[in-house]
Each structure stands twice: as C-alpha cells, then as structure tokens.
Amino acid sequence: MNKTFIPSSHYTTKKWYIVDASQKPLGRLATTISTILQGKHKVDYDPSIDNGDYLIIINAKNIIIDSWSIGHVKYRVFSPGRPGSSLKKVAEHIPQKNYRKRS
C-alpha cells in the first residue's frame, strides 16, 4: 500500500523572514525571495500546496544592479501585463542610481 504523505496547508505554520537587500545582486536576491515565498526551503514542500512564508525586504534601494541587468531583465511596472518592458525604463526615471559595471 502507498504511504505517501501529502501535507495540507494547515500542517505547517507560516514564518516571517526579514531579508536585507543592501549590496546584494538582483538575480541572487530574487532567487532567494522566490524560494522562501514558494516554500521550497521546507522539508514538506509540495508544489500544489501553499507552504510559503511571509517576507519583509529592507534596504531595497541599495540592491546592486549591474549594466547587464539593465538591458536583459524584464520589468513590468510601467506597463503591467505587456511583455517587453525592460529595466532601462526604470533607469531612465531614476538616473541618480549608480550601476556597477560587470567585469
């Protein structure tokens, strides 16, 4: 007989995490955040059940965005639902941010 354990959404309690985003690259931070929100860091992860935790991100204005990310990362703030908006539009509206050159 099959003894597979399938957790319910009431099985685990949701925790709160605080993530400090200062001086962290955008891509690696996004990966960490999505892992926590989906609940993949838990032992009882199941893709059909919402086991993700809650998240508070502090110092988001100090995220490191390199010059490669500006042209290649898709960003949907200015036209939600329409693909093709890039981070270049955000960089034009926020010119005081200094972007790190990729070496």
pTM of the model: 0.62
**Considering only CA atoms, which of 73, 72, 75, 63 is closest in space to residue 99?**
63
H helices present in the chain, as ranges: 26-38, 67-72, 87-93
- Position 10, amino acid: H
Over the chain (103 residues), the average pLDDT of each successive run of 10 is 73 88 89 92 84 91 76 53 55 56 55
Structural domain spans, the chain: 13-64, 65-103
Question: In this predicted structure, what is the pLDDT of residue 9?
Answer: 66
How confident is the model at residue 81, as a pLDDT?
Answer: 47
CA dihedral 67→72→78→84, nearest 10 degrees, is 150
